[in-house]
Amino acid sequence: MPSRRLLIRALVPAVLALGVVCPPGARADEIPKAPGHRLVEQYEGAPAQPLPVPGKAPAQHPYLAANGRSGMHADAWGSGTYPWSGPNGRQPTVRSEQMAALGGECATVTFDRAGRIVTVCGTFSGFLVKLLDPASLATLAEYKLPQRPSTVEAITRLDFSRIFKDTSGGAYSYLDDQDRLVLADSRQHIVRLAHEQAADGSWRFVVTDDWDLTGTVPHDCVSWTNLYPSGECDPVTSVMPDWDGRVWWVTRQGRVGTVDPGSGAVRSIRLDGEEIQNSFSVAEDGVSIVTDHALYGFGATADGTPKAVWRQTYDRGTGTKPGSVNQGSGTTPDLFGEHENYVAITDNADDRMNVLVYRRDAAVPADRRLVCKVPVFGSGASTTDNSLISYGDSLVVENNYGYENVSSLTFGRSVVGGVTRIDVRDDGSGCDTVWESDVRSPSTVPKLSTANGLLYFYTKEPNTLGIDAWYLTAVDFRSGATRWKRLVGTGLAYDNNWAPVTIGPDGTAYVGVFNGLTAVRDS
């Protein structure tokens, strides 16, 4: 039996070779479908009649691209909503683009002013920032980011779950008000990338700013030249600007910091003993951050140092559930409210997960901060590691219990599933469950089109033939009824592995999948 070191030496070149991508401007292949795609329904239901949803829309952030174009959660409030229509189910067509031989998932999808896609795709040789044609999905330009430590650890330790549970290295990024992508790479640098077109029509990415956090953030991380580090490594999880233009950042080990884009000054604090694996949300009144212990409302001092304005602990349970990245809330905070300023997360309670709604104003007394605590889904089988949808006074939550990585649901398996809508009462006295659905959405960040009233999920049903069929599924926001579903693909390559549904300005629904990016649009 070969030694572990020899096995690693043999695996490394093979895995790196699998990460080879096409040169910019070249068209890759469609993502291959696994056998059985002709044996399952291609389309079910009927086209939906668009019915806009009234409600208070998220405020437009002055330093972000227009709402719906700027990031994974669509806007600074993390609402997961779009002001334009998604597909209504009229003979929807499917297109896909394979970004690598293995891997290549494009998670965060943003759109510049012309509708071009700016995204980050993960391959085993490193993350790639890509500029894509929104219709053909062809690559117009790409920029390679440094390889994440988790990839090296996965290969050297033969534990690929490390990759799937790593939210650092560019997975969370945002498009700013000048169409520049901002992200934190695996070197603990925050970079700002513009894309520009040359006289010959070709495109390229240009680094306009590079802020080094290594003076503040420990960075003795695993790499191919540093396989056995002796120091501390603290990956940066997410970045987002506040209403004054500071770039806020958080790390896995509980550091919260800011960068002044003008001076480059870095300020930070540490939440000792707490972990941050989710992104965060921003409104004019502050920054909302959730750790694996508590929900925070943050502001900044005059020099930009983060300051906790309030802190609210929650039930973090006794362990990590199947379907969660860590022991704690799996949701990016949602900022919402028709009449009051609310913030919502889920907890990690052992028996049944709860949706928690809080008043987020700084002056609210501690005994009035909690608005409601609503248990969701079945006993012993409830968790989510995806953001809620929020609009007006409504919240929608899905159940991810049972999903862990791309191997979790092979051979026709699925999760127990479930989706629930909860509304805060007009007088703020509590919350009520409006409807429950049995839709099985294993791991996607769902979205709502407020223009047509449809919720979009990426779903998978159990299959006795062992076929792994993945669908874009549209659910009526008002009633919870499933309106239609369209087959996107079959097999492991079409598992979305935590990537969101994203609705483009042209009405296309994009879903990042393990092997690249897919697009569903009405004929």
3-state SS track over 245-296: CCEEEEECCCEEEEECCCCCCEEEEECCCCCCCCCCEEECCEEEEECCCEEE
Tell me the two tokens of residue 70: 């700027």
Mean pLDDT along residues 326-336: 96
What is Dmax (Cα atoms) for the chain? 68
- Tell me what pLDDT residue 28 has: 61
- Minimal CA–CA distance to 102: which of 510, 503, 504, 491? 491
> At 104, which helix (H) or strand (E)?
strand 103-111
Cα-based distances in Å from 336 to 62, 210, 427: 18, 33, 15
Can you say how many angstroms the Cα of residue 480 is from the centroid of all Cα atoms in its chain?
23
For residue 150, pLDDT beyond 90? no
Residues 6+ apart with CB under 8 A from 220: 226, 229, 230, 231, 232, 233
Mean pLDDT along residues 382-401: 97
Q: Which DSSP letter does residue 301 get?
A: -
For residue 12, pLDDT beyond 60? no
Instruction: State the pTM of this model.
Output: 0.93
Tell me the two tokens of residue 127: 């993350």
For residue 6, pLDDT beyond 70? no
Can you say how many angstroms the Cα of residue 412 is from the centroid of all Cα atoms in its chain?
25
Residue-wise pLDDT tens digits, 217-256? 999 888 888 888 999 999 999 999 999 999 999 999 999 9
Average pLDDT of the chain is 92
Cα-based distances in Å from 502 to 3, 229, 367: 45, 38, 38
Mode of pairing for the β-strands spanning 516-521 and 93-98: antiparallel
> At 14, which helix (H) or strand (E)?
helix 4-18
- Tell me what pLDDT residue 122 has: 87
- Minimal CA–CA distance to 173: which of 225, 233, 106, 240? 240
User: pLDDT category, 164, cuts 50, 70, 90?
Assistant: low
Half-sphere exposure of 191 (CA within 13 A, CB side): 17
- Tell me what pLDDT residue 82 has: 98
Burial label, 270 (beta-carbon count in 10 A; 0-12, 13-18, 19+): middle
- Domain topology for 4-521: Methylamine Dehydrogenase; Chain H (2.130.10)
Q: What stretches of 365-472 show up as alpha helix (H) in DSSP? A: none
Mean pLDDT along residues 333-342: 96
**Residues 19 and 126: beta-carbon distance below 8 Å:** yes
Tell me the two tokens of residue 340: 């009051």
Angle at 481 between CA 321 and CA 455, to 5 degrees: 65
User: pLDDT category, 10, cuts 50, 70, 90?
Assistant: very low
Residue-wise pLDDT tens digits, 105-131? 999 999 999 999 999 998 877 789 999
Report CA dihedral (71, 75, 80, 81) to the nearest 10 degrees.
Answer: -120
Q: Select the more confidently predicted residue: 293 or 166.
A: 293
User: pLDDT category, 3, cuts 50, 70, 90?
Assistant: very low
For the chain, give the number of residues.
Answer: 523
Which percentage of the chain shows pLDDT scores above 90?
84
Residue-wise pLDDT tens digits, 184-219? 999 999 999 999 999 999 999 999 999 999 999 999
- Minimal CA–CA distance to 391: which of 446, 348, 458, 439? 446
- Tell me what pLDDT residue 171 has: 81
Mean pLDDT along residues 8-21: 36
3-state secondary structure of 430: coil
User: pLDDT category, 296, cuts 50, 70, 90?
Assistant: very high
User: pLDDT category, 384, cuts 50, 70, 90?
Assistant: very high
- Tell me what pLDDT residue 125 has: 75
Residue-wise pLDDT tens digits, 19-42? 334 444 455 689 999 999 999 999
Cα-based distances in Å from 436 to 11, 31, 352, 396: 46, 33, 15, 10
- Tell me what pLDDT residue 18 has: 38
- Tell me what pLDDT residue 162 has: 67
Cα-based distances in Å from 492 to 99, 104, 412, 472: 15, 13, 11, 16
Mean pLDDT along residues 429-436: 98
Burial label, 159 (beta-carbon count in 10 A; 0-12, 13-18, 19+): exposed
Tell me the two tokens of residue 33: 């479908």
For residue 265, pLDDT beyond 80? yes
For residue 5, pLDDT beyond 60? no
**Residues 495 and 459: beta-carbon distance below 8 Å:** no
Rounded Cα distance between 454 and 88, Å, is 8
Q: Select the more confidently predicted residue: 36 or 15.
A: 36
Domain limits, the chain: 4-521
**Residues 355 and 342: beta-carbon distance below 8 Å:** no
User: pLDDT category, 161, cuts 50, 70, 90?
Assistant: low
Q: Select the more confidently predicted residue: 226 or 368.
A: 368
For residue 344, pLDDT beyond 50? yes
Residues 6+ apart with CB under 8 A from 179: 65, 112, 113, 118, 194, 195
Rounded Cα distance between 414 and 277, Å, is 25
User: pLDDT category, 165, cuts 50, 70, 90?
Assistant: low
Tell me the two tokens of residue 143: 């920029």
**Residues 423 and 395: beta-carbon distance below 8 Å:** yes
Which amino acid is it at 190? I
Angle at 472 between CA 391 and CA 510, to 5 degrees: 75
- Tell me what pLDDT residue 330 has: 95
Tell me the two tokens of residue 249: 């950042």
Rounded Cα distance between 520 and 523, Å, is 10
3-state secondary structure of 307: strand
Rounded Cα distance between 117 and 139, Å, is 9
